[in-house]
């Protein structure tokens, strides 16, 4: 049973911060090193100083990016740059953004959700995580004792009754936050303190499954933090704040819920492996070739991407390598995944594109082992196919795989079956912005 409750959030003080756009940032795990530097330089109170502090060669166990984040957080609280709300609230957010030549609005409820191990079947993951990222996030949570960003999660509500109730609660009310971010996306946030609304929403959500969309590392870190506290803090008990985690809850039926593809770009893929990939793939895939050179390269790229999108009902994967002036479109032949992995993978998992890529192309054809797949330093992601192709053409990566987006029903089916997708199987767009609300864990 899911436990969803209001809480006293920590928000930036509008008296001290006149434009929220200056202090918010994307989630830590999609920020590049260049962007990290830019956010640090953009404003002395940007949330990046808490979520992704800089490292220094002189760092020690008592003076490092995590301790500096904690010092900064405590200083902002003492100086009232951020303030703790006096009354427990649900925080309803609305994000407006353009998508495919139309304006879209996505709503999200920021609330606390009771932590449950995945095996309980209340909160369900759909992706694998990296162990070193979990350990880094745990050190940050130990230092700051706070949820610094909300985990993006989903629930199903066919008639959108929960969202309708929340929207009724803020009807004709001025937003508590209203700003346009660095991507020109409009954000609004309302505090909902009505206890009757709290009771209705909590009751309506208690029998729902909660699906993690983005934030698997943060959820697993919250579980690890609670376990760490239980053995290191004599005051820890069942009512401790660390038994909850802050989530952004969005209805699967929300018209603004968008999934983009997560294209993969790999480094240190040996030339011999690249040279034989397409000939090996011919046994398993129908292969279309698009010459990618000279004056027609941009036109060929557009044709290639259009062909990939038009085949989104099939297992269709695009490939581009830095030393071959061709784009390849690989369409899986019937029965391949059943023949290769029928005794190892269930049908719901083996027939999604990211599984075809990971198990068949990366592991079988390229010979990647689990250690190679676990090394996040050798892989980069992009939701924009043109950018992924350009990065390989410029020599920044060895090979890229261009994918169609995973469908929301596939995510749901796999999570409900208690299964896990390969990492970065989904790219929910836009990401939940960090800095609107924080949650203290002490």
pLDDT digits (tens, 9 = 90+) for 1-20: 999 999 999 999 999 999 99
Q: Pick from 26, 29, 138: which is nearest to 379 by CA?
A: 29
Question: pLDDT tier at 419 (50, 70, 90 boundaries)?
Answer: confident
Mean pLDDT over each residue of the chain, to the nearest integer: 94
The pLDDT value recorded for residue 345 is 93
For residue 416, tell me if it sits in a domain.
Answer: no
72 assigned to some structural domain: yes
Domain housing 360: 262-404
C-alpha 98, offset from chain centre:
19
Model confidence at 129: pLDDT above 80: no
Q: Is the preceding omega at residue 63 within 30 degrees of 0, hence cis?
A: no
Residue 345: DSSP 8-state: S
How sure is the predictor about 131, in pLDDT bands with cuts at 50, 70 and 90? confident
State the total domains in the chain. Answer: 2
Q: Which of 27-36, 149-158, 262-271, 390-399 has the lowest mean pLDDT?
A: 27-36
404 pLDDT band (50/70/90 cuts)?
very high
Asked if residue 417 is part of any domain, the answer here is no
How big is the chain by its Cα radius of gyration, in Å?
23
pLDDT of residue 425: 82
- Per-residue pLDDT band at 22 (split at 50, 70, 90): very high
The answer on 248 and 357 residing in a single domain is no
Residue 418 in domain: no
Residue-wise pLDDT for 30-61, tens only, equals 888 899 999 999 999 999 999 999 999 999 99
Do 195 and 324 reside in the same domain of the chain?
Answer: no
At 384, phi and psi to the nearest 5? -115, 115
**Nearest CA-CA partner of 390 in 309, 313, 316, 327:** 327
Three-state secondary structure call for residue 429 = strand
Query: Does some domain include residue 19?
Result: yes
226, 290: one domain: no
| pLDDT above 90: residue 387 | yes
Consecutive H or E run containing 162: helix 161-169
271 and 251 belong to one structural domain: no
The set of residues, in sequence order, having a beta carbon less than 8 Å from that of 15 and lying 6+ positions away, is: 80
Label residue 282 left, alpha or beta by phi (over 0 means left) and psi (-120 to 50 means alpha): alpha
- Position 169 pLDDT exceeds 90: yes
Residue that has been written with the tokens 């968008």 in this structure: 258
Q: Are 37 and 116 in contact (CB under 8 A)?
A: no
Same domain, 197 and 333: no
Percent of the chain residues topping a pLDDT of 70: 100
| Torsional class of 331: left (φ above 0), alpha (ψ -120 to 50), beta (otherwise) | beta
User: Residue written as tokens 């050190």?
Assistant: 139
The 10 Å Cβ neighbour count of residue 50 is: 26
Phi, psi at 34, each rounded to 5°: -65, -45
**What pLDDT band is residue 133 in, cutting at 50, 70 and 90?**
confident
If residue 219 lies in a helix (H) or strand (E), which one and from where to where? Answer: helix 216-232
The backbone torsions φ and ψ at residue 211, rounded to the nearest 5 degrees and listed phi first, read: -105, 125
Report pLDDT digits (tens) over 238-293. 999 999 999 999 999 999 999 999 999 999 999 999 999 999 999 999 999 999 98
Q: Is 127 helix (H, G, I), strand (E, B) or coil?
A: strand
Q: Give the model's confidence band at 184: pLDDT under 50 very low, under 70 low, under 90 confident, else very high.
A: very high
C-alpha distances out from residue 10 to 139, 327, 435, Å: 21, 49, 9
The reply to whether 349 falls in a domain is: yes
How far, in Å, CA of 45 to CA of 327, rounded? 45
Residues 205 and 278 in one domain: no
Gap between the Cα atoms of 397 and 390, Å rounded: 10
pLDDT at position 377, please? 83
Tokens standing for residue 241: 């704040």
Q: Cα 239 to chain center, whole Å?
A: 29
Residues 219 and 282 grouped into a single domain: no
pLDDT of residue 372: 86
Question: Do residue 321 and residue 376 come from a single domain?
Answer: yes
CA angle 390-265-286, nearest 5°? 90
Confidence of residue 323 (pLDDT cuts 50, 70, 90): confident
* pLDDT of amino acid 420: 80
0.75 exceeded by pTM? yes
Instruction: Answer yes or no: is pLDDT of 128 > 80.
Output: no
Mean pLDDT calculated for residue range 67-91: 98
Q: How far is CA 322 from the centre of its chain?
A: 28
Angstrom distance (rounded) from CA 116 to CA 178: 33
**Going by C-beta distance under 8 Å and a sequence separation of 6 or more, which residues neighbour residue 99?**
258, 429
| Separation between Cα atoms, residue 153 and residue 212, nearest integer Å | 4
Q: Is the pLDDT of residue 193 over 80?
A: yes
Q: Say what the pLDDT of residue 375 is.
A: 82
**Distance between start and end Cα atoms, the chain:** 25
């Amino acid at each position: 049973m899911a436990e969803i409750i209001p809480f006293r959030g920590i928000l930036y003080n509008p008296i001290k911060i006149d434009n929220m756009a200056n202090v918010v940032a994307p989630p830590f795990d999609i920020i590049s090193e260049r962007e990290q530097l830019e956010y640090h330089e953009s404003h002395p109170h940007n949330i990046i100083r808490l979520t992704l502090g800089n490292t220094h060669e002189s760092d020690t166990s008592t003076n490092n990016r995590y301790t500096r984040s904690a010092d900064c957080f405590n200083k902002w609280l003492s100086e009232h740059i951020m303030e703790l709300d006096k009354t427990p609230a649900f925080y309803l957010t609305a994000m407006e953004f353009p998508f495919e030549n139309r304006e879209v609005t996505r709503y999200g409820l920021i609330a606390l959700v009771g932590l449950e191990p995945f095996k309980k079947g209340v909160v369900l993951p759909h992706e694998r995580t990296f162990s070193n990222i979990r350990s880094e996030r745990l050190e940050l949570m130990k230092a700051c004792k706070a949820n610094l960003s909300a985990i993006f999660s989903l629930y199903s509500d066919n008639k959108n009754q929960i969202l309708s109730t929340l929207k009724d609660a803020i009807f004709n009310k001025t937003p508590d936050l209203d700003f346009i971010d660095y991507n020109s996306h409009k954000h609004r946030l309302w505090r909902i303190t009505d206890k009757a609304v709290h009771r209705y929403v909590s009751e309506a959500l208690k029998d729902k499954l909660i699906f993690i969309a983005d934030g698997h590392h943060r959820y697993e870190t919250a579980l690890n933090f609670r376990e760490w506290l239980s053995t290191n803090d004599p005051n820890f008990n069942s009512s401790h704040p660390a038994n909850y985690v802050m989530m952004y809850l969005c209805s699967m039926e929300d018209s603004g819920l968008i999934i983009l593809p997560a294209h993969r770009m790999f480094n240190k893929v040996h030339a011999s492996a690249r040279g034989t990939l397409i000939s090996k793939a011919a046994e398993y895939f129908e292969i279309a070739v698009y010459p990618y050179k000279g004056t027609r390269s941009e036109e060929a790229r557009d044709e290639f991407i259009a062909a990939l999108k038009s085949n989104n009902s099939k297992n269709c994967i695009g490939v581009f390598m830095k030393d071959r002036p061709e784009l390849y479109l690989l369409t899986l032949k019937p029965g391949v995944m059943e023949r290769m992995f029928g005794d190892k993978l269930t049908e719901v998992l083996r027939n999604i594109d990211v599984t075809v890529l990971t198990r068949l192309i990366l592991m079988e054809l390229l010979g990647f082992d689990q250690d190679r797949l676990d090394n996040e330093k050798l892989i980069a992601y992009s939701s924009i196919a043109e950018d992924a192709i350009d990065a390989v053409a410029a020599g920044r990566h060895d090979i890229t795989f261009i994918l169609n987006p995973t469908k929301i029903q596939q995510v749901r089916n796999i999570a409900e079956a208690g299964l896990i997708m390969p990492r970065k199987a989904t790219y929910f767009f836009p990401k939940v912005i960090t800095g609107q609300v924080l949650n203290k864990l002490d």
